[in-house]
Amino acid sequence: MTPDDLKALIRDVPDFPKPGILFRDITTLIGNGPGLAASVAMLAEHARAAGAEAIAGIEARGFIFGASVAAQLGLGFVPVRKPGKLPVPVLALDYALEYGTDTLEVDPGAIAAGQKVVLIDDLIATGGTALAAAQLLRQAGAVVEQALFVIDLPDLGGADRLRAADLKVDSLVAFPGH
């Protein structure tokens, strides 16, 4: 499959989660076996080229792709969680959203000092969540130099924001103008 084939498997949902938003839904991509396999293979190739020693995924859809890439590469997976989901003492980071704040948590014992971790999520929009996840992983001792996404919404500036924070950013498909 080509990136254009993958793009064709991503469903557009108008006015979700609020009027005026065109939501790019990966449910149709992950529901297509060849599409899911091709997505994971492409992300795995990028992660391999980056020298990944572990893969981190952002809750929730980043778990789908991140854990699959980790399994394909024979690497460990580090979940970056929403608050209160991990049963051990955690590192936490509050970060700004368009309206308010949110928090991410990680188990610091899941990362070895200096371990090269590649961050994966389904979509990069404004970059706030991915930037917070990278900062949190770095606080835990990881070396985070690469972030991978299935979808980039380049007009929202998230990938550029991550690049400004010394992260290389790659995506499989882009939807300009949204």
Question: DSSP string spanning 98-145?
Answer: TTEEEEEEE-GGGS-TT-EEEEEEEEESS-HHHHHHHHHHHHTT-EEE
| Residue among 65, 161, 163, 76 at smallest CA distance from 115 | 76
Sign for the CA dihedral angle at 18, 24, 26, 31 comes to positive
User: Is residue 11 flagged as an active site residue?
Assistant: no
Report whether pLDDT(169) > 80.
yes
Predicted pLDDT at 50: 98
Q: Does residue 43 contact residue 120 with C-beta atoms inside 8 Å?
A: yes
> Which CATH number is 133's domain given?
3.40.50.2020
User: Is residue 53 flagged as an active site residue?
Assistant: no
Over residues 39-66, mean pLDDT: 98
Domain boundaries, position 158: 3-174
Task: Say which of 48, 59, 61, 138 is annotated catalytic.
Answer: 61
Angle at 31 between CA 68 and CA 159, to 5 degrees: 60
How far is the C-alpha of 14 from the C-alpha of 110, rounded, in Å? 38
What is the count of structural domains for the chain?
A: 1
Report whether pLDDT(178) > 70.
no
pLDDT digits (tens, 9 = 90+) for 92-148: 999 987 677 899 999 999 999 999 999 999 999 999 999 999 999 999 999 999 999
